[in-house]
């Protein structure tokens, strides 16, 4: 009887590591801009590499772009894809650049469960770089969305 219980317990233990619980990962070839990890490391700053390629998060209030108020567009620092327009930027008080909408077609979405609950993750649709997350606590007078984006993932291009 003890052997049967041991076999059942071991079977349950190993079945907990099912494919449904494994994080879905996209391959580099699923994005129009595809580079090796070594190429990304060489081209990006260590901060941008950490955020974009390792899905890191910069410290709050550390990005100069958090206070950027000029007219222009925020692009992906890795591939220069335009992601957010300055007229959709707002001060969320969170310490990260925040926007109430994206430039359609240039941002891809996925799920992030690293904190023990599911969050909507945002990636550059061109290179797959991790940008941040989107939440439903944005301005109610617009979209109600808060795209909370790492400044290290962005470069600001002023309007001409």
For residue 98, the cross-strand partners are 90, 148
Cβ neighbours of 99 (radius 10 Å)? 27
Is 148 part of the annotated catalytic residue set? yes
* Calpha distance 99→135 (Å, rounded): 11
CA distance 141 to 160: 29
Catalytic, out of 76, 124, 127, 148 = 148
Q: Which tokens is 19 given? A: 């494919």
Catalytically active residues are 148
């Amino acid at each position: 009887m003890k052997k049967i219980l041991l076999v059942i317990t071991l079977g349950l233990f190993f079945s907990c590591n099912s494919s449904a619980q494994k994080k879905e990962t996209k391959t580099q070839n699923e994005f129009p801009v595809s580079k090796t990890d070594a190429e990304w490391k060489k081209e990006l700053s260590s901060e941008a590499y950490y955020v974009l390629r390792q899905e890191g998060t910069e410290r709050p209030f550390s990005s100069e772009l958090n206070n950027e108020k000029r007219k222009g567009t925020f692009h992906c620092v890795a591939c220069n894809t335009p992601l957010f327009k300055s007229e959709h930027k707002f001060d969320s008080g969170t310490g990260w650049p925040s926007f109430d909408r994206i430039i359609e077609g240039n941002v891809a979405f996925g799920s992030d469960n690293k904190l023990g609950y599911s969050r909507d993750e945002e990636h550059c649709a061109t290179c797959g770089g991790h940008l941040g997350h989107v939440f439903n606590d944005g301005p109610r007078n617009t979209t109600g969305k808060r795209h909370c984006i790492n400044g290290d993932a962005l470069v600001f291009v002023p309007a001409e």
